[in-house]
Chain A
Amino acid sequence: AQSVTQLDSHVSVSEGTPVLLRCNYSSSYSPSLFWYVQHPNKGLQLLLKYTSAATLVKGINGFEAEFKKSETSFHLTKPSAHMSDAAEYFCVASPQGAQKLVFGQGTRLTINP
């Protein structure tokens, strides 16, 4: 069965420093992969998605993610954190042929001034 593991439940960085949120998936074939962001008391907003085209995917708000099949990873990065990036981030997989998504447990990102 497909699973998604977010390796850190909480990440804390200083404003202006790089952000790395780690995600690994397990599958016998490459799924579509997504990163969503959720600000407090809000719904989930799509940051970016991988759909088997380019392995480096650029998203909104300066985020990007790289799909590495050999490592079954899809880590989310941003060169310089901003206070407004403080939120919960979810890595999500969409197995081929399935209508349901598989969610990671989420990573809470805190930005220190």
Chain B
Amino acid sequence: DVKVTQSSRYLVKRTGEKVFLECVQDMDHENMFWYRQDPGLGLRLIYFSYDVKMKEKGDIPEGYSVSREKKERFSLILESASTNQTSMYLCASRLFSGGSYNEQFFGPGTRLTVL
């Protein structure tokens, strides 16, 4: 079974702090994704990566950056956390070959609160 793990389930940070959210997958997937989920807004894509050191902006990249130095690990960075970044953050991975038929596998999520 594919396993996607996220470094924290719950995280509380202060405004202005630099925050790192880590995601690791164990199935050699090329694609990895970061989403945020807010009530009434559904899931919104922040960034995705289609290979090591490759990244592409999603729908709401402002205030975030990402890093993918190894295939299995995809990090989301909040350079200077703000209260409007309080949210549930979900990481996902996907096998690229086979194209659109492949589903994304999701991690358990990190609920981030910025005070």
Interface size class of chain B, counting residues whose CB lies under 8 Å from the partner chain = 20 to 34
B103 contacts A46, CB within 8 Å? yes
Please determine whether B109 and A105 come into contact, CB atoms closer than 8 angstroms: no
With known contacts A42-B108, A44-B106, A99-B31, A90–B101 Cβ distance under 8 A: no
Instruction: Please classify how large the interface on chain A is, using the bins under 10, 10 to 19, 20 to 34, 35 or more.
Output: 20 to 34
A43-B107 contact in complex given A103-B42, A104-B42, C-beta closer than 8 Å: yes
Closest beta carbon of chain A to B61's beta carbon, Å: 13
Number of A-B contacts (CB under 8 A): 53
Residues of A within 8 A of B102 (CB): 94
**Given known contacts A42-B109, A43-B109, is B99 in contact with A96 (CB within 8 Å)?**
yes
Residues of B within 8 A of A100 (CB): 33, 45, 48, 58
Given A43-B109, A104-B42, A105-B42, check contact A99 B103 (CB 8 Å): no
